[in-house]
Amino acid sequence: MDIVKFNLEYKTKFAKIDEKEKKVLSIEDVSKNIEFEFGKLAKQANFAVKVTSGGTSVLCCIVMSEKENKEIPQEPLIPLTVDYRERTYAAGKIPGGFFKREGKPREHEIHVSRLIDRTIRPLFPKDFNYDVQVNVLVLSFDSEYDPTILSVLGTSLALSLSEIPFEGFFSCFRLCKIKDEYIVNPSYQELDISDTDLIVSFFKDQVLMIENESNELKEEEFFDMVSYLKNYAKLFDEFQQEVLNQYRKNKILYEKKFNLEELIKLNYDSIAGVIKETIKIEDKKERENKYKEIAKNIELKKEFCKEEIFKDEELLKQLKERVFFTILRDVIRKMILHEQFRPDKRNYDEIRNINCEVAILPRAHGSALFQRGQTQALVTVTLGTLSDMQIMDELVGEYKERFMFHYNFPGFATGEVRPDRGVSRRELGHGFLAKKSIESMLPSQEEFPYTIRIVSDILESNGSSSMASVCGATLALLDAGVKIKDSVAGVAMGFVKEDEKYVILTDISGLEDHIGDMDFKIAGTRNGITAMQLDLKIKGISLDIVKEIVYKAKIAREKILDIMNSVIDKPKAEISSFAPKIKILQIPQERIGDLIGPKGKNIKQIIEETQSKIDIDENGNVFVSAENEELLKKTIEKIEFFTKDVEVGKIYLGKVKKIVSYGAFIEILPGRIGLLHVSQLAEYRVKSVEDLLSEGDEIYVKVTEIDEEGRPVLSRKEAMKEGYKNNYEK
């Protein structure tokens, strides 16, 4: 195939930014261009599309296995893998660290991989059981053009043009707001100064996926932003349709191992009633054991299955579980839709019972236990110094991360035996969502000069552990004495839809997530949304339904905040005694060298004597941390000794550096030497300076003035009048 290029032009806004001051200089209309190219690169993949905008290029490659998977999944889960990787050569960089090649995916790469996955997964046929892999490589990087959205758009076109079964193309755009102006597909610099980062995927005119981070975004503003992006989605859909009409490959036909519809008909009547009774068992373990018993008795007929299934005990077991789960899902969904039933007997808009505790770990700087139903999160806050910040080496450049949120989900949380072999993608994703939920509420570094690490250990799970982590994090921060701007809570919303009838479920449990069509996590304060994440199993929902869900989530969020506030509603007055003590000093930039000293002599001496930590930035901010208040005070005194300017009227203990006939030169601060005239040595007439002083002596002197050349004028006589005795007398 020849190289074919398509241009998608659209109007948006562009913000000119003062990078140093992080101020917006102006906002103007620009025409951004996205170019799609296929037929040249990676021709052995099922399909590959190169997407370019500005100086950023990504290559989206799609590959499908030749044979169907032998295993039969319990539910229609597509065996899909998405890997987004950033090559450092794209930004003209060599990887940092000891190994000079890219290693395992970084957290940002995993987050983008998950974003692509969540968008495309609902659009595959539910009975499709072939391995599909999406590989996205960032080949060229320009910080003005974000590769994330280009990756999603390229994946849509590649899947739609390929022979792989895929039920439709989609669109995805990013939006931020600066000075009341909406900016589509903003640059990294624009995102840095925006209070809102919203990514929305659309399938036709339906909302398919949402990812959001914001600073108390009002619900009405959120709806306006989604509506605004729909216009660009429509434009891209029209573009894709034109391309597909000309270049789409014929989709492959794939053979099914079994006729699921007929197997369901065969077993439905015999087990539906038993399932209805089993659902009412409150104990999760007992209920699941009963499910396994029912699944064993599923009837299979050879006319509805391939012969190979009956020759393999494991395949037989898997198929029975698949038939059982499909019937279970249908039974529960019908009960929810038509009988106002929920498995744990709650109303549609009722949240589970919540219990909160704080200060449960004596040595942690802040701790909390948040329990909602059978989901339990133990959340801790650890306060560190600025030297504890995490160094991030990204394409956009190296920077330091002051806030970390780590989420852990061990096997015992669901009663499973599962070796702990590192952090999963799911754990990273949940931690990232919780971090976004909390981050905008943290005090600035100037207000609170600590590095903050939050860890959420999920000890028990039955739905919405990420939102439990958000609630627990708020409680732990308040317990740690961190002056957050407001409390944040989160809730997971569910959705069940058949034809035109649907039900919205507040605070979904694990089973409701399993059999439902949606997991919509929404976190925020009373004033607005701080983060949200929409995952769908169906091909989108209307904006009107999104509005209904978001408003119901707000009501639930406020109820949860009431419960949390009854336990702790403001930060503790003092931070933990086990946390390091930190203070920020401001010194003149020209005195930074004085503090550091030749070859770091001065600062090394201070650190050795006080066992403190000292960090200095280029603006003259000195971050001092010590184990206790006494050492902190001692460290500050020593820093001031090297950096403070001489003050007229103040008395200093100085050292005699040189004696001359008309007086002595005294060093009162490092590098600050003043003249002590012989007439100011004593109240009586001194014949010779050497009668009183020798080089190296320490004496108290008072600064009486600063001369025209900026040199201190000193008086021992005035110091003595104020009661200061000299260390040396002759």
CA-closest candidate to residue 162, choices 119, 124, 129: 124
Query: Of 86-95, 480-489, 537-546, which range is least confident?
Result: 86-95
HSE of 63, CA atoms in CB hemisphere, 13 A: 12
Strand-pair partners of 13: 29
Checking if the pLDDT of 665 tops 90, the result is yes
Q: Where are the beta strands (DSSP E) in 141-238?
A: 171-178, 181-184, 196-203, 206-217
Report helix, strand or coil for 481. coil
pLDDT for 730 beyond 60: no
Q: Residue 509 in 3-state DSSP?
A: coil
Residue 20 predicted with pLDDT over 80: no
Domain boundaries of the chain, sorted by first residue? 4-247, 260-339, 354-567, 581-643, 651-721
The band of 597, judged by pLDDT with boundaries at 50, 70 and 90, is confident
- Tokens describing residue 647: 């003050």
Residue 258 per-residue DSSP state: B
Query: What is the residue whose two structure tokens read 């000119």?
Result: 16
Q: Provide the mean pLDDT of the chain.
A: 91
Residue 623 contacts residue 449 (beta carbons within 8 Å): yes
- Tokens coding 622: 């000195």
Q: How far is CA 96 from each of CA 321, 388, 398, 400, rounded to the nearest angstrom?
A: 48, 19, 10, 14
Beta carbons of 27 and 15 less than 8 angstroms apart: yes
Distances (CA, A) of 618 to 102, 300, 564, 591: 31, 74, 41, 11
Which are the contacts of 615, defined by CB distance < 8 A and separation ≥ 6? 385, 386, 387, 622, 623
CB 611 within 8 A of CB 624: no
pLDDT recorded at residue 96: 78
Asked if 4-247 and 354-567 have one fold, the answer is yes
Residues paired with 397 in a beta bridge: 394
In 1-86, the DSSP E strands lie at 4-18, 23-38, 47-53, 56-68, 80-86
Whole-angstrom distance, CA of residue 583 vs CA of residue 590: 21
CATH number of 651-721: 2.40.50.140
Task: Report yes or no: 265 and 211 within 8 Å, Cβ to Cβ.
Answer: no
CA 205 – CA 168 distance, rounded (Å): 12
Over range 286-307, report the average pLDDT: 87
| Average pLDDT over every residue of 354-362 | 96
Q: What is the mean pLDDT of residues 475-496?
A: 97
Q: Which 3 state secondary structure label does DSSP give 484?
A: coil
Q: What does the pLDDT read at residue 583? A: 86
| Token couple for 231 | 């216009």
Residue 176 pairs in a beta bridge with: 183, 197
> How far is the C-alpha of 226 from the C-alpha of 173, rounded, in Å?
10
Give the list of residues 6+ apart from residue 350 with CB closer than 8 angstroms, or none. 506, 507
Nearest to 583 by CA among 573, 575, 591: 575
156 pLDDT higher than 50: yes
Nearest by Cα to 458 from 374, 522, 533, 532: 374
Q: What per-residue confidence (pLDDT) applies to 438?
A: 98
Structure token pair of residue 127: 């009975």
What DSSP element (H or E) covers 465? helix 465-479
Sheet holding 613-616, edge to edge: 581-586, 621-626, 613-616
pLDDT over 70 percentage in the chain:
99
Q: What is the DSSP letter of 67?
A: E
Q: What is the dihedral of CA 322, 517, 285, 323, to 10 degrees?
A: -10
Residue 726 confidence (pLDDT) above 70 = no
DSSP strand pairing (80-86 vs 130-140): parallel
Tokens of 424: 């999963």
pLDDT level of residue 71 (50, 70, 90 thresholds): confident
CATH topology assigned to domain 581-643 = Ribosomal Protein S8; Chain: A, domain 1 (3.30.1370)
* For range 538-549, the mean pLDDT: 97
- Using 50, 70 and 90 to split pLDDT, how confident is the model at 1? low
| Mean pLDDT of all residues in 646-673 | 88
Tell me the average pLDDT across 351-377.
97
729, pLDDT greater than 50 = no
Q: Which residues are CB-neighbours of 179 under 8 A, at least 6 positions away?
A: 15, 24, 27
In this predicted model, what pLDDT tens digit does every residue of 516-529 receive, in sequence order?
Answer: 999 999 999 999 99
Is residue 610 scored above 60 in pLDDT? yes
Pull the structure tokens for residue 697: 């002596």
Residue 721's pLDDT is what? Answer: 87
- Asked if pLDDT for residue 331 goes beyond 90, the answer is yes
φ, ψ dihedrals at 583, nearest 5°: -140, 145
pLDDT, average across residues 328-355: 94
Q: Which two tokens stand for residue 533?
A: 């994440």
Q: Is 416 left (phi over 0), alpha (psi -120 to 50) or beta?
A: beta
pLDDT exceeds 90 at position 117: yes
Least confident residue range of 180-194, 245-259, 585-599:
585-599
The gap from C-alpha 671 to its chain's centroid, in whole angstroms, comes to 47
Look at residue 467 in the predicted model and tell me its pLDDT: 98
Distance of alpha carbon 133 from its chain centroid, rounded? 25
Judge contact between 352 and 468, C-beta under 8 A: no
User: Phi and psi at residue 72, in whole multiples of 5°?
Assistant: -110, 110
Q: Alpha helix (H) ranges present in 611-721?
A: 629-643, 716-721
- Number of Cβ atoms within 10 Å of the Cβ of 489: 29
Strand bridging mode 196-203 / 206-217: antiparallel
Say how far apart CA 467 and CA 478 lie, in whole Å. Answer: 17
Phi and psi at 219, nearest 5°, equal: -60, -45
- Residue 189 near residue 19 (C-beta atoms within 8 A): yes
Structure-model confidence comparison of residues 544 and 623, the more confident one: 544
Instruction: Assign domain 354-567 one CATH number from 3.30.70.640, 3.30.230.70, 3.30.2320.80, 3.40.50.460.
Output: 3.30.230.70
Task: Report d(CA 148, CA 65) in Å as an integer.
Answer: 26
Residue whose C-alpha is closest to residue 292's, from 332, 334, 325, 261: 325
pLDDT digit string, tens, across residues 39-55: 999 999 999 999 999 99
Helix (H) or strand (E) holding 180: none
pLDDT for 242 equals 92
DSSP codes joined into one string, 443-464: PPTTTS--EEEEEEEEEE-SS-
Neighbours of 493 (CB within 10 A): 26
Q: Which amino acid, residue 312? A: D
- The predicted pLDDT at position 308 comes to 84
Residue ranges of alpha helices (H) inside 587-657 are 592-596, 601-610, 629-643
548 by DSSP, 3-state: which?
A: helix
The 3 state secondary structure assigned to 284-314 is HHHHHHHHHHHHHCCCCCHHHECHHHHCCHH
Q: Which comes out higher in pLDDT, residue 643 or 158?
A: 158
- What pLDDT sits at residue 9? 85
The larger pLDDT score, comparing residue 22 to residue 237, is at 237
- Residues paired with 451 in a beta bridge: 384
Checking if the pLDDT of 383 tops 90, the result is yes
CATH numeric code, 4-247:
3.30.230.70
Exposure letters 541-550 (e unless 16+ CB within 10 A, then b): bebebbebbb
4 neighbors 38 (Cβ within 8 angstroms): yes
Residue 592 DSSP SS3: helix
Q: Could you tell me the strand order of the sheet in which 354-358 lies?
A: 354-358, 366-372, 375-384, 451-460, 403-408
Predicted local distance difference test score (pLDDT) of residue 193 = 93
Question: Is residue 74 within 8 Å of residue 325, measured between CB atoms?
Answer: yes
pLDDT at residue 727 in the model? 52
Range with lowest mean pLDDT among 287-291, 423-427, 460-464: 287-291
